């Protein structure tokens, strides 16, 4: 049973918007694409854990701190006697493990997922001990990108390769398990201890003036959007969206990018660019957000 769902972080959402609206350095592009790909891999793995039918609790995307050390876990599955800690890697292409280093086929050494896994496992064990739960922890790195190959894959390491994934999920599903109240208490405690990460430290600097304004297409992110009756239509892919939902979507973007700016009719009018009627924007803001203040000082929350 799913106990804690995964959702897109504000960091990912902001980087996605910046990727469309601002010139990115190569480094920024790579960082964004790494996060986007990582998230895609996690969501794909969630589709598999969702199918588990036996008695277990699934907690996705956790960040804990113990004794001043933070650690992040992609997926935790609580069974009767065992907790599975799973780190998901959506690497694609050919990699090589020489017993010491993980490297790409070009010889670029990447962070060893097994070291990271060991660290998380040991910290999770400390946390469980601290909470008074004596369950064993089994930890695995799951490589779930079908285009991933690992040469010299060691057989005695907790690695699940794409071709082993189905069997691994079947094994989990067959695990005898009967949960009781204390397992639920543990899951609740873990959710309570989960730290909600703020994106601040990982964001590149950006200013309002540097960000390209205009409604973007919901599907292809193009700026070639025009209004047609009650809809906005994308000139690049043909996607149509109600003006109301497009404006709401853009207000959310402004709020995410610039949490300190006040959402006013003028602000959104300037931002959207293609909507010619300020009255229409006031109406959309008024019926979808909470108005604060009066007349020309009105802003929306
Ligand atoms: Zn489009």
What is the whole-number distance in angstroms between the Cα of residue 217 and the centre of ligand 1? 5
Helix or strand run (H / E) with residue 187: helix 181-193
pLDDT of residue 293: 85
CB within 8 A of 34, min separation 6: which ones? none
What is the whole-number distance in angstroms between the Cα of residue 234 and the centre of ligand 1? 5
pLDDT of residue 295: 72
What is the whole-number distance in angstroms between the Cα of residue 219 and the centre of ligand 1? 5
What is the whole-number distance in angstroms between the Cα of residue 231 and the centre of ligand 1? 13
**For each of the chain's 301 residues, which pLDDT tens digit applies?**
999 999 999 999 999 999 999 999 999 999 999 999 999 999 999 999 999 999 999 999 999 999 999 999 999 999 999 999 999 999 999 999 988 889 998 889 999 999 999 999 999 999 999 999 989 999 999 999 999 999 998 889 999 999 999 999 999 999 999 999 999 999 999 999 999 888 777 888 899 999 999 999 999 999 999 999 999 999 999 999 999 999 999 999 999 999 999 999 999 999 999 999 999 999 999 999 998 887 777 889 8
3-state secondary structure string, 23-38? CCCHHHHHHHHHHHHH
Distance between CA 184 and CA 178 in Å, rounded?
12
pLDDT of residue 250: 96
pLDDT of residue 259: 93
What is the whole-number distance in angstroms between the Cα of residue 238 and the centre of ligand 1? 6
CB within 8 A of 170, min separation 6: which ones? none
pLDDT of residue 253: 96
What is the whole-number distance in angstroms between the Cα of residue 253 and the centre of ligand 1? 17
Distance between CA 153 and CA 98 in Å, rounded?
8
pLDDT of residue 278: 93
Sketch the domain layout of the chain as residue ranges: 2-201, 213-300
What is the whole-number distance in angstroms between the Cα of residue 159 and the centre of ligand 1? 40
Report phi then psi at 132, rounded to 5: 85, 25
pLDDT of residue 298: 86
């Amino acid at each position: 049973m799913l106990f804690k769902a995964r959702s897109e972080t504000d960091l990912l959402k902001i980087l996605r918007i910046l990727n469309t609206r601002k010139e990115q350095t190569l480094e920024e592009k790579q960082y964004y694409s790494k996060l986007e790909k990582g998230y895609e891999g996690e969501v794909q793995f969630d589709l598999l854990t969702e199918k588990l039918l036996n008695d277990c609790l699934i907690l996705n995307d956790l960040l804990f701190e113990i004794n001043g050390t933070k650690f992040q876990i992609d997926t935790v599955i609580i069974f009767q006697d065992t907790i599975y800690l799973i780190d998901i890697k959506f690497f694609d292409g050919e990699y090589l493990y020489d017993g010491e280093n993980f490297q790409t086929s070009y010889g670029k050494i990447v962070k060893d997922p097994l070291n990271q896994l060991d660290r998380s496992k040991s910290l999770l064990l400390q946390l469980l001990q601290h909470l008074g739960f004596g369950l064993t922890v089994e930890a695995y790195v799951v490589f779930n990108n079908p285009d991933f190959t690992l040469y010299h894959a060691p057989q005695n390491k907790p690695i699940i390769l794409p071709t082993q994934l189905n069997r691994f999920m079947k094994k989990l599903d067959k695990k005898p398990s009967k949960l009781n109240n204390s397992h639920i208490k543990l899951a609740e405690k873990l959710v309570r201890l989960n730290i909600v990460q703020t994106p601040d430290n990982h964001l590149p600097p950006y200013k309002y003036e540097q960000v390209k304004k205009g409604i973007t297409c919901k599907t292809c992110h193009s700026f070639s959007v025009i209004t047609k009756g009650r809809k906005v239509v994308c000139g690049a892919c043909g996607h149509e969206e109600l003006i109301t939902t497009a404006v709401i979507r853009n207000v959310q973007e402004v709020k995410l990018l610039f949490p300190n700016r006040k959402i006013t009719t003028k602000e959104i009018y300037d931002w959207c660019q293609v909507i010619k009627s300020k009255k229409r924007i006031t109406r959309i803001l008024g019926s979808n957000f909470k108005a604060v203040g009066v007349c020309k000082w009105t802003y929306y929350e």
